[in-house]
């Protein structure tokens, strides 16, 4: 069995996941560190001196099969907050923790590197992000600045690798980085910036982004070859790798380690484990098992039109679209309005596709303005279907009913408990035929169903219905109270809950929807058993 080390530190495997992909939140990074031994280098998201919100959705689109275009905008919590999160993580000793950092001045890099230096094994200097106005490639095009930033990061005594852009003069950049004390290189960052349109509309909110995945495989290999002609220092190759054959081509070009990013799209945590195990086996033994683990993701937008708009209450809107939508209970979609953004939604009904929502932000405010005949684009579905055996008790609050309405519609052996503000927020339910045995409603003011909270009637229904499984969806406080009641009657593993996490891609790539247990809600959920 092959052994691996980076800058003298023994590591568990030859792979990493490039910065900004999958491991963008510390719980996911920690879980992968402890469960996927083939990943020996843990590369963090790019961290800057101050919190940065990044770009609004859409931040990612499917450029071609197994290729993406993204403009995340270097979103990060800032080095101080990130350090606090990193302190809580338990990282195995056989991992090289590589903190990706960025800044536009020497003072920026001094601040970021100084804040993180005691927690990491080395730094990746990001001077290559192609869609940031002040950082990344904007800095990388100035060789004098590259040398200064590299020198500043290296002054803390930890190895510095510089992430190279394929869009700049590589020889000039590499010589400047070496002059600043670079100990290695990461090649390559995304190609760009470029545009991606659907029906003539820019998809990315930033309009331009960087291309990753299979579309840049040959470019990445060519760039690694150029770097190897200039230096004998370690090279972490990334750009389009998905199979052992890709790795061998990069190794022949001069790469030392290998980053796999876009190939992970659509994989849940368990599937990633199997994929990396197979990929390492293929690389070391010549087998070809990894390709069967690759998944074709669907980010294609389908155009709908608003067929009916109903203002159910001051803060509740129902939109019926002009076509049906093929989706399973537990899954969700993204709704996109060109130029206005996109957000994830549960499909309240599938015949026709129907959205139920409260305007509570910039995008939902725009969604609320749509009228019959206006276009709306949908992509998906995402998330794992709910596969329920036995009698299910569904406990929902507010507009979360949209997430479980399809299950109540299709599965006769269910009981649906719904809580809402008043009659306007609940009475529309009787218009939609459901297969479930019972629908019980409660309202805050008693104007529809019983007065009170959904948890007030839960105990009674647990005793009468005797469910095999309980599924909760709604405000977190409501779910916590429901769980305490349910645990008295059924096993914890038979209690499923869905907490709303920030979801921006739907295929696991952005990693934003991290749970405290280090799973990604969009591919590992969205409903989790209580043990999580």
Of 98-102, 142-146, 355-359, where does mean pLDDT reach its minimum? 142-146
Cα Rg of the chain (Å, integer): 25
Tell me what the mean pLDDT of segment 321-332 comes to. Answer: 97
Tell me what the mean pLDDT of segment 375-386 comes to. Answer: 97
Measured between alpha carbons, how far is 438 from 429 in angstroms, rounded to an integer?
12
Tell me what the mean pLDDT of segment 471-488 comes to. Answer: 95
Can you read off the two tokens belonging to residue 176? 């400047």
Measured between alpha carbons, how far is 332 from 329 in angstroms, rounded to an integer?
8
Q: Do domains 4-293 and 302-382 have the same CATH topology?
A: no
CATH class name, domain 302-382: mainly beta
- DSSP, residue by residue, 437-470: SEEEEEETTSSSSEES-GGGTHHHHHHHH--SEE
H-helix segments, 238-268: 244-253
| Phi then psi dihedrals of residue 379, to 5 deg | -130, 150
Is the domain 392-500 a CATH 3.20.190.10 member?
no
For residue 137, name the pLDDT band (cuts at 50, 70, 90): confident
Sign of CA dihedral 405, 406, 407, 409: positive
Task: Establish whether 129 is a catalytic residue.
Answer: yes
User: Across the chain, what does the average pLDDT equal?
Assistant: 95
Ramachandran quadrant class, 334 (left: phi over 0; alpha: psi -120 to 50; beta: rest): beta
H or E segment at 282? helix 269-285
Can you read off the two tokens belonging to residue 136? 């990344």
Tell me what the mean pLDDT of segment 259-268 comes to. Answer: 97
Domain ranges across the chain: 4-293, 302-382, 392-500
H or E segment at 68? strand 67-70
The candidate with the shortest Cα–Cα distance to 235, out of 281, 286, 170, is 170
Measured between alpha carbons, how far is 130 from 207 in angstroms, rounded to an integer?
12
**Under 8 Å between Cβ of 163 and 126:** yes
Residues contacting residue 220 through CB under 8 Å, at least 6 positions apart: 166, 187, 188, 237, 238, 239, 240, 250
Locate the DSSP E strands across 363-492. Answer: 375-382, 392-397, 414-420, 438-443, 450-451, 469-473
Tell me what the mean pLDDT of segment 309-322 comes to. Answer: 97
Query: Which pLDDT score, from 0 to 100, does residue 2 have?
Result: 79
Does residue 532 register a pLDDT over 70? no
Three-state DSSP at 197 gives strand
Measured between alpha carbons, how far is 374 from 273 in angstroms, rounded to an integer?
44
Query: Which pLDDT score, from 0 to 100, does residue 222 have?
Result: 98
Locate the DSSP E strands across 189-256. Answer: 191-195, 197-198, 201-202, 208-213, 235-238
Query: Which pLDDT score, from 0 to 100, does residue 1 have?
Result: 63
Tell me what the mean pLDDT of segment 313-329 comes to. Answer: 97
Three-state DSSP at 170 gives helix
For residue 55, name the pLDDT band (cuts at 50, 70, 90): very high
Can you read off the two tokens belonging to residue 455? 């948890």
| Phi then psi dihedrals of residue 219, to 5 deg | -65, -45
Name the catalytic one among 79, 129, 223, 505: 129
Tell me what the mean pLDDT of segment 361-381 comes to. Answer: 97
The candidate with the shortest Cα–Cα distance to 120, out of 66, 165, 79, 172, is 79
Residues contacting residue 29 through CB under 8 Å, at least 6 positions apart: 23, 42, 44, 89, 518
Query: Which pLDDT score, from 0 to 100, does residue 283 have?
Result: 96
For residue 141, name the pLDDT band (cuts at 50, 70, 90): confident
Three-state DSSP at 348 gives coil
Enter the CATH code of domain 4-293: 3.20.20.70
Residues contacting residue 488 through CB under 8 Å, at least 6 positions apart: 462
Query: Which pLDDT score, from 0 to 100, does residue 364 have?
Result: 97
pLDDT digits (tens, 9 = 90+) for 277-291: 999 999 999 999 999
Tell me what the mean pLDDT of segment 364-372 comes to. Answer: 98
Tell me what the mean pLDDT of segment 469-497 comes to. Answer: 96
Sign of CA dihedral 1, 282, 37, 273: negative
> Long-range contacts for 453-456 (Cβ within 8 Å, ≥24 apart)?
453/397, 453/419, 453/478, 454/395, 454/396, 454/397, 454/417, 454/418, 454/419, 454/478, 454/482, 455/395, 455/419, 455/481, 455/482, 455/485
For residue 79, name the pLDDT band (cuts at 50, 70, 90): very high
Cα distances from 250 to residues 171, 223, 462, in angstroms, run 19, 10, 59
pLDDT digits (tens, 9 = 90+) for 422-479: 999 999 998 898 999 999 999 999 999 999 999 999 999 999 999 999 999 999 999 9
pLDDT digits (tens, 9 = 90+) for 516-528: 999 999 999 999 9
Q: 333-361: b or e for each residue (b if 16 or more CB lie within 10 Å)?
A: bbbbbbebbbbbbbbbbbeebbbbbbbee
Query: Which pLDDT score, from 0 to 100, does residue 148 have?
Result: 96
Q: 151-177: b or e for each residue (b if 16 or more CB lie within 10 Å)?
A: bbbbbbebbbbbbbbbbbebeebbbbb
**Under 8 Å between Cβ of 79 and 47:** yes
pTM: 0.95
Can you read off the two tokens belonging to residue 129? 């992000």
For residue 500, name the pLDDT band (cuts at 50, 70, 90): confident
């Amino acid at each position: 069995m092959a052994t691996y080390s980076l800058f003298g530190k023994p590591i568990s495997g030859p792979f990493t996941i490039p910065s900004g992909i999958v491991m963008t939140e510390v719980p996911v990074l920690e879980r992968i560190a402890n469960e996927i031994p083939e990943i020996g280098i843990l590369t963090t998201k790019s961290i800057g001196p101050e919190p940065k919100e990044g770009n609004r959705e859409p931040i990612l689109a499917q450029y071609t099969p197994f290729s993406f275009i993204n403009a995340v905008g270097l979103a990060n919590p800032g080095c101080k907050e990130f350090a606090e999160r990193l302190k809580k993580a338990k990282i195995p000793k056989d991992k090289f923790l590589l903190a990706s950092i960025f800044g536009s001045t020497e003072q920026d890099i001094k601040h970021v590197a100084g804040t993180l230096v005691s927690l990491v094994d080395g730094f990746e200097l990001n001077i290559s992000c192609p869609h940031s106005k002040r950082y990344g490639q904007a800095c990388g095009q100035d060789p004098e600045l590259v040398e200064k930033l590299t020198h500043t990061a290296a002054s803390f005594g930890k190895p510095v690798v510089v992430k190279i852009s394929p869009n700049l003069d590589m020889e000039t950049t590499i010589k400047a980085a070496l002059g600043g004390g670079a100990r290695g290189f990461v090649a390559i960052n995304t190609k760009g910036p470029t545009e991606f349109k659907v029906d003539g509309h820019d998809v990315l909110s930033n309009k331009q982004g960087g291309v990753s995945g299979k579309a840049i495989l040959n470019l990445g290999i060519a760039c690694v070859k150029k770097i190897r002609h200039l230096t004998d220092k370690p090279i972490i190759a990334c750009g389009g790798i998905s199979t052992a054959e890709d790795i061998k081509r990069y190794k022949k070009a001069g790469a030392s380690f290998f980053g796999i990013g876009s190939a992970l799209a659509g994989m849940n945590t368990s599937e990633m484990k199997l994929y990396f195990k197979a990929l390492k086996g293929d690389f070391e033994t010549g087998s070809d098992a990894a390709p069967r683990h690759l998944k074709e993701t669907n980010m294609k937008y389908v155009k709908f039109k608003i067929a009916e708009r109903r203002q159910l209450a001051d803060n509740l809107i129902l939109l019926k679209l002009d076509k049906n939508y093929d989706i399973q209970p537990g899954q969700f979609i993204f709704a996109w309005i060109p130029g206005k953004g996109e957000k994830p939604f549960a499909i309240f009904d599938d015949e026709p596709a129907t959205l139920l929502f409260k305007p509570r932000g910039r995008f939902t405010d725009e969604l609320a303005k749509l009228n019959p005949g206006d276009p709306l684009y949908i992509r998906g579905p995402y998330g794992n279907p709910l596969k329920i055996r036995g009698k299910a008790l569904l406990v929902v609050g507010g507009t979360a009913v949209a997430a479980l309405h399809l299950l109540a519609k299709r599965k006769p052996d269910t009981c649906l408990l719904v809580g809402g503000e008043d009659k306007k927020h609940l009475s529309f339910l009787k218009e939609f035929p459901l297969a479930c045995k019972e629908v019980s409603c409660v309202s805050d003011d008693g104007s529809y169903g019983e007065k009170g909270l959904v948890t007030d009637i839960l105990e009674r229904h647990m005793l009468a219905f005797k469910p095999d499984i309980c599924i909760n969806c709604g405000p977190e406080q409501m779910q916590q109270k429901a769980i305490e009641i349910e645990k008295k009657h059924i096993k914890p593993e038979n209690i499923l809950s869905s907490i709303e996490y920030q979801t921006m891609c739907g295929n696991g790539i952005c990693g934003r929807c991290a749970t405290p247990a280090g799973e990604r809600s969009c591919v590992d959920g969205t409903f989790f058993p209580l043990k999580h």
